[in-house]
Amino acid sequence: MGTSLEELEQLVAGPYACATASVQIAVQSCLELLGTRVDVIPVVMPVTSAPDTLAAVLRAGGHPLLLDIEEEHLQMDPAQLKDALEMLEEQKRVPVILFNRPFRMPVREELLEIVADYPSVSDARVVPGEFLSGPDIACTFNVFDLSTVCGAGALTIHGFPEQVDQLKLVRSGPMGLDGALPEMLAEEAVHVHSYWQITRKHYWEEGEKFQGTEHHVMGPSTEPGVVWLKVDNARRTAATLKSYDIEAVIGLAPLYEIEEVKCRYQEEPEYPVTKALENSFVCFNYEDIEKALKVL
């Protein structure tokens, strides 16, 4: 590892940080360290996880157990999570819990209390904050995204330096993955503190411009500079925005809608909340907010 890579890890969290080339490699490395290569370990995760997160679970040898979400926070449904853990306990299987963080919101305290006795991974999809504490690092492994800073890369934060050293061995281990962040990207990312200064403000205030319309602003997104809107028909709204040269995407893409994995878990999956919401969210760049106001 080069000096610049070490500087990046030291800048963010010292001996508690491990840099990788992508979020997928970071999640995969965490799971391998937790034993998915030597045992078939269930990985409990929301059905709205990112596709590359699912890929990380499968490549690590984990067995995904996809749960529905609850409507208010779009995180895993607590009741379903409890049922899943009780089922696995009866089977004498110890799972890993994998959380996502919609709209940059921390993992709900209620969920953390339910899984307090299990190893957990947080797939944050956000740049690590200037001060890493409390809810931001509440899980066993906390994976942060660097792509909005330097185009690629991820940082995993863990509370014990000894296990971080083991994680660094795993990231470039037996699979021959290019797990370490390329030096050129690391050199760019060491300036992440400047990025903190200009993106510290959340977009709640600007989001209030949409109040009084039929659209509901959900608040800070999974990536700085992106606005999430709750709308009646996300596909139609995205098409409308694109017709005005505003790049927009559907906010929720349930894993069971991906053709390659549709029948992997259940032939007829039961995800009522996700099914009801999958056409409800549209995302577009924050820079287009004024233009979107005129369109919507």
Percentage above 90 pLDDT, the chain: 25
Beta bridge partners of 44: 65, 97
Of the listed ranges 82-86, 109-113, 262-266, the least confidently predicted one is 262-266
Percentage above 70 pLDDT, the chain: 71
Q: What does DSSP say about strands 96-100 and 42-46: parallel, antiparallel, or unpaired?
A: parallel
Domain ranges of the chain: 3-192, 204-295
Of the listed ranges 108-117, 129-138, 213-222, the least confidently predicted one is 213-222
Query: Is residue 137 scored above 90 in pLDDT?
Result: no
Mean model confidence pLDDT for the chain: 77
Distance CA 33, CA 43 (A): 13
Whether the model clears a pTM of 0.85, i.e. scores above it, the answer is: no
Provide the CATH topology of domain 204-295: Aspartate Aminotransferase, domain 1 (3.90.1150)
Q: Which residue has the higher pLDDT, 148 or 212?
A: 148
State both tokens at 120: 């957990």
* CA–CA distances in Å: residue 77 to residues 81, 211, 219, 256, 267: 6, 28, 21, 17, 21
Q: Which residue has the higher pLDDT, 34 or 186?
A: 34
Predicted confidence (pLDDT) per residue in 142-184, tens digit: 998 887 666 678 889 998 889 898 888 887 764 444 455 555 4
Distance CA 208, CA 61 (A): 44
Among the residues of the chain, which ranges form H helices?
A: 3-13, 23-33, 51-60, 78-90, 109-114, 147-150, 161-171, 183-189, 192-199, 204-207, 234-243, 272-277, 289-295
Query: Is residue 89 scored above 90 in pLDDT?
Result: yes
Provide the CATH topology of domain 3-192: Aspartate Aminotransferase; domain 2 (3.40.640)
Residue 94's pLDDT band (boundaries 50, 70, 90)? very high
Which residues have C-beta within 8 Å of that of residue 287, sequence separation ≥ 6? 225
Predicted confidence (pLDDT) per residue in 97-126, tens digit: 999 988 777 899 999 999 999 999 999 877
